[in-house]
């Protein structure tokens, strides 16, 4: 009961907040832009399937959610607890007959509802505009793939939201929490490839296979990397994953069935869920043990 | 009267920079139903820590405690359904109206949808904020916010309310209004009030029994009259002339505890009535007596002279 009360308030606070509205507008505008961009490619005659439209190009749906999605997650989580501590409303919350885990559950649930709203709207916008532009609709199989992709995207954005909730609990100050969350996002989104390559190439006396393992294990720490990998495989039946387990590439020989694609994406999905659980678990432990004075 | 708050050896130890600090030390306290209890002590003496332990928001290091017979470590959620708390530093959701704030916290306190509107109206009328029901809290003055906080605890119809430095930061008018409100609630609703403060004059004006906390230890607990009677006699002794010899002679009188000088006036605190000795002494020093009278000591004098109370 308490969880739903807190979740509803959190959700209404989120959707009414200026920062969320700005990011939501940004995602929506980029979705429409993406729709126009991919539609133009279709007119060039390069279209292979509807899924192709969503997985390739610099402004594809996957890239859009891969980059802007974490920003929405961070914007929902970075001051989730620290704002209540800074303003003093946490004491009023705690003076009610609610447990601390209920507060955190309510906040996460409120954030989840907001993510569903933002993501659902932007994906619907994008697909809707593509359909209007090129006049074809995704088939049943593609719709199923899109639904699974939608769920994976929610988990991915939740991952960043949980991470920023954790920084909000640890640092207790919204400004520091935002800074740390943004640094982690920049690292995982733009720097991890560089760091992984550097690590792999500078290791002395390691053979090629060993270097690829180092590269793989370093990349595996990034939720963004797993999201890109699994999204391509889930949305586009032409994508397969290479022998090292996590690098997706285009297969020109055959199209995979949904089950085959899901099988290939499972390790990435599993790691994404594990990362999410780790962030949430540490947040619970830290928040429940926090001395409130 | 039945005890509503009871503690046995309640202790809280914090670790600060690897060092153990006893915030509350072996607290044995009983507060009775319907009482206006003042929990007095300097800043950092352990008042807030005591309240947080009683509400089950922090765990004691040692000892036990009960609020309305609920164990503070095992039944803290139940305690928070029957106990209200106004922290020293708190904030409502400033963009929301008084009504929406109270509705949110009311629901968290388990008040049903059918009851909540009536309770909000009743509580806001009680604290004289009913005209502001739909105004955003950010438009409220500090005094209004404090009354709103009181309404927020009243909507759950608590048995006991914990007020932590409730008038800090209020102007004199708002302070007086808040004090009157607390007394009225105690009289009309029979509400037990546990008021923590470092301001003696405030506690004296509201409470009928006081516990005095110093460095985490409860060093004295009594009614206001009880404390004053402990002080003994306060004698105001004014002479035409006063010098060091006279002061030494006054201090040497059997029963005199403390002597304070202001110009030609001495304020003497003694365990017995020493006015006869003082008049003889004036005669010995050829000084004329201008004033020689017994006065009732104030509570402030009791604390400053007996317990050395004050802010750290």
For residue B277, the distance in angstroms to the closest alpha carbon of chain A comes to 54
Per DSSP (E only), the strands in chain B are 3-16, 19-32, 36-40, 62-67, 70-71, 83-86, 160-164, 192-197, 209-214, 217-223, 233-239, 256-262, 265-270, 289-295
Mean pLDDT of B114-143: 92
Give the other-Cβ count within 10 Å of B290's Cβ.
Answer: 12
pLDDT of residue A56: 62
Q: Does B7 touch chain A (CB under 8 A)?
A: no
Question: How confident is the model over B217-235, as pLDDT tens digits?
Answer: 998 898 888 877 777 788 9
- pTM (2 d.p.): 0.83
Average pLDDT rounded to a whole number, residues A46-70: 74
Q: Is B110 on the interface with A (CB under 8 A)?
A: yes
pLDDT in the model for residue B310: 43
The residues near B192 (Cβ < 8 Å, ≥ 6 apart) are B4, B5, B31, B32, B33, B34, B35, B37, B159, B160, B161, B186
For A17, counting Cβ atoms within 10 Å of its Cβ (0-12 exposed, 13-18 middle, 19+ buried), the class is middle
Closest partner residue to B110 (CB to CB) among A92, A93, A97 is A97
Give yes or no for residue B97 having a pLDDT over 90: yes
Nearest residue, CB atoms, A89 vs list B92, B110, B153:
B92
Which chain A residue has its CA at the smallest distance from B85's CA? Answer: A95
Residues 6+ apart with CB under 8 A from B248: none
pLDDT tier at A48, thresholds 50, 70, 90: low
Q: How far is A15 from chain B (nearest CA, A)?
A: 14
- At residue B312 the predicted structure's pLDDT band, cuts being 50, 70 and 90, is very low
Count of residues making up chain A: 293
A1 interfacial to chain B (CB closer than 8 Å): yes
Residue A246 has pLDDT above 70, yes or no: no
**Least CB–CB distance from B87: residue in A2, A91, A97:** A91
Residues of chain A found within 8 Å of residue B107, distances taken between Cβ atoms: 5
Between these two residues, A217 and B153, which has the higher pLDDT value? B153
Is A4 touching B (CB cutoff 8 A)? no
A98 contacts B108? CB cut-off 8 A = yes
**C-alpha–C-alpha distance, residues A185 and B140, integer Å:** 39
Q: Which of chain A's residues have a Cβ under 8 Å away from the Cβ of B91?
A: 87-89, 92
Contact (CB<8Å) B78/A97: yes
Q: Measured between beta carbons, which residues in chain A are less than 8 angstroms from residue B92?
A: 89, 92
Which of the pair, A204 or A86, is modelled with greater confidence? Answer: A86
Q: Are A263 and A237 in contact (CB under 8 A)?
A: no
Q: Which structure tokens are listed for B238?
A: 């004014």
Å between A69 CA and nearest CA of chain B: 27
- In tens, the pLDDT along A203-218 reads 777 777 778 788 888 8
Residues of B in contact with A97 (CB under 8 A): 77-78, 80-81, 108-110
pLDDT at residue B246, rounded to an integer: 92
Cross-chain residue pair B110–A292, CB shorter than 8 Å: no
Average pLDDT over residues B64-83: 94
Inter-chain CB proximity B80 and A99 less than 8 Å: no
Q: Measured between CB atoms, which of B14, B49, B89 is closest to A88?
A: B89
The answer to whether B40 touches B198, Cβ cutoff 8 Å, is: yes
Cite the beta strand spans of B41-124 per DSSP E.
Answer: 62-67, 70-71, 83-86
Q: Of the segments A73-82, A138-147, B269-278, which one has the largest average pLDDT value?
A: A73-82
Interface test with B, best of A79, A92, A290 (most B CBs within 10 A): A92
pLDDT tier at A122, thresholds 50, 70, 90: confident
Shortest CB distance from A95 goes to which of B80, B93, B110?
A: B80
Give pLDDT, residue A41: 67
CB contact under 8 A, B90 and A1: no
- Chain A window 93-152: which residues touch B at a Cβ cutoff of 8 Å? 93-99
* B185 min Cα distance to partner chain A (Å): 20
- Judged by average pLDDT, the poorest of A157-161, A218-222, B52-56, B101-105 is A218-222
CA–CA separation, B284 and A275 (whole Å): 91
Which residues of chain A neighbour B58 with C-beta distances below 8 Å? 291-293
Alpha-carbon gap, residue B245 to B242, rounded angstroms: 8
CB B137 within 8 Å of CB B96:
yes
* Average pLDDT of the residues of chain A: 85
Please determine, for residue B98, whether its predicted confidence score (pLDDT) is greater than 60.
yes
B58 touches A at CB < 8 Å: yes
- In 3D space, the residue among B285, B198, B201, B271 whose CA is nearest the CA of residue B234 turns out to be B271
- pLDDT mean over B297-308: 69
Residue with the larger pLDDT of the pair B202 and B116: B116
pLDDT at A252 over 80: no
Percent of chain A surpassing pLDDT 90: 42
Alpha-carbon distance B220 to A20, whole Å? Answer: 54
Tokens linked to B113: 């949808």
B-chain residues near A83 (CB < 8 A)? none
Q: How many CB pairs under 8 A join A and B?
A: 61
The residues pairing with B235 across neighbouring beta strands, listed in sequence order, are B268, B294
Q: What integer pLDDT is reported at residue B60 of this predicted model?
A: 94
Please compute the mean of the pLDDT values over residues B115-123 and round it to a whole number. 94
Judge whether B245 and B304 are in contact, CB under 8 Å. no
Shortest alpha-carbon distance between residue B145 and chain A (Å):
13
Q: For residue B53, how far is the Cα from the chain centroid? A: 17
Q: Is B50 on the interface with A (CB under 8 A)?
A: no
Instruction: Report the relative pairing of strands B70-71 and B62-67 from DSSP bridges.
Output: antiparallel
Q: Which residues, at least 6 apart from A27, have a Cβ–Cβ distance to it below 8 Å? A: A64, A68, A72, A118, A122
Q: A28-46, pLDDT tens digit by residue?
A: 888 888 877 777 766 655 5
């Amino acid at each position: 009961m308490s969880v739903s009360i807190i979740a509803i308030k959190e959700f209404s606070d989120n959707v009414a907040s200026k920062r969320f509205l700005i990011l939501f507008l940004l995602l929506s505008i980029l979705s429409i832009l993406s729709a126009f961009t991919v539609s133009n490619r279709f007119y060039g005659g390069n279209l292979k399937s509807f899924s192709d439209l969503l997985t390739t190009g610099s402004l594809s749906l996957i890239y859009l959610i891969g980059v802007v999605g974490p920003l929405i997650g961070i914007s929902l989580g970075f001051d989730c607890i620290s704002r209540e501590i800074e303003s003093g409303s946490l004491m009023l919350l705690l003076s009610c007959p609610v447990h601390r885990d209920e507060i955190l559950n309510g906040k996460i649930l409120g954030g989840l509802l907001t993510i569903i709203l933002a993501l659902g709207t932007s994906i619907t916008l994008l697909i809707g505009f593509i359909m209007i532009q090129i006049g074809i609709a995704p088939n049943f199989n593609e719709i199923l793939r899109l639904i699974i992709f939608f769920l994976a995207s929610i988990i991915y954005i939740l991952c960043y939201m949980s991470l920023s909730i954790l920084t909000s609990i640890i640092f207790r100050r919204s400004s520091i929490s935002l800074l740390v969350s943004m640094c982690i996002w920049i690292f995982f989104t733009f720097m991890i490839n560089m760091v992984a390559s550097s690590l792999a190439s500078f290791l002395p006396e390691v053979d090629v296979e060993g270097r690829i393992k180092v590269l793989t294990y370093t990349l595996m720490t990034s939720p963004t990397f797993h999201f890109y990998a699994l999204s391509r495989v889930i949305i586009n039946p032409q994508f397969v994953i290479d022998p090292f387990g996590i690098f997706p590439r285009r297969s020109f020989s055959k199209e995979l069935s949904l089950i085959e694609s899901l099988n290939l994406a499972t390790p990435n999905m599993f790691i994404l869920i594990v990362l999410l659980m780790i962030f949430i678990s540490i947040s619970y432990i830290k928040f429940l043990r926090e001395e409130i004075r | 009267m039945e005890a509503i708050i009871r503690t046995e050896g309640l202790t809280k130890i914090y670790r600060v920079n690897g060092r153990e600090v006893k915030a509350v030390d072996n607290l044995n306290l009983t507060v009775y139903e319907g009482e206006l209890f003042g929990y007095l002590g300097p800043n950092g003496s352990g008042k807030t820590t005591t309240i947080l332990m009683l509400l089950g928001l922090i765990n004691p290091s040692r000892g036990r405690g009960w609020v309305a017979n609920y164990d503070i470590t095992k039944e803290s959620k139940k305690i928070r359904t029957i106990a209200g708390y106004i922290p020293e530093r708190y904030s409502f959701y400033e963009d929301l109206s008084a009504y929406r704030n109270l509705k949110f916290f009311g629901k968290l306190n388990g008040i049903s949808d059918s009851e909540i509107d009536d309770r909000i109206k009743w509580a806001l009328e009680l604290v004289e904020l009913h005209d502001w029901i739909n105004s955003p809290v950010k438009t409220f003055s500090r005094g209004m916010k404090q009354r709103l906080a009181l309404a927020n605890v009243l909507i759950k119809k608590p048995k006991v309310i914990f007020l932590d430095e409730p008038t800090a930061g209020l102007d004199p008018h708002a302070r007086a209004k808040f004090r009157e409100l607390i007394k009225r609630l105690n009289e009309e609703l029979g509400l037990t009030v546990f008021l923590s403060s470092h301001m003696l004059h405030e506690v004296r004006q509201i409470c009928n029994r006081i516990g005095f906390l110093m460095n985490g230890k409860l060093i004295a607990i009594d009614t206001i009259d009880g404390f004053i009677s402990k002080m003994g006699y306060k004698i105001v002794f004014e002479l035409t002339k006063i010098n060091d010899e006279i002061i030494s002679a006054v201090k040497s009188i059997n029963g005199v505890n403390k002597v304070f000088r202001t110009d030609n006036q001495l304020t003497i605190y003694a365990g017995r009535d020493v006015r006869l000795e003082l008049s003889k002494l004036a005669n010995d020093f050829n000084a004329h007596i201008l004033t020689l009278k017994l006065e009732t000591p104030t509570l402030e004098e009791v604390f400053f002279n007996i317990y050395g109370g004050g802010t750290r």
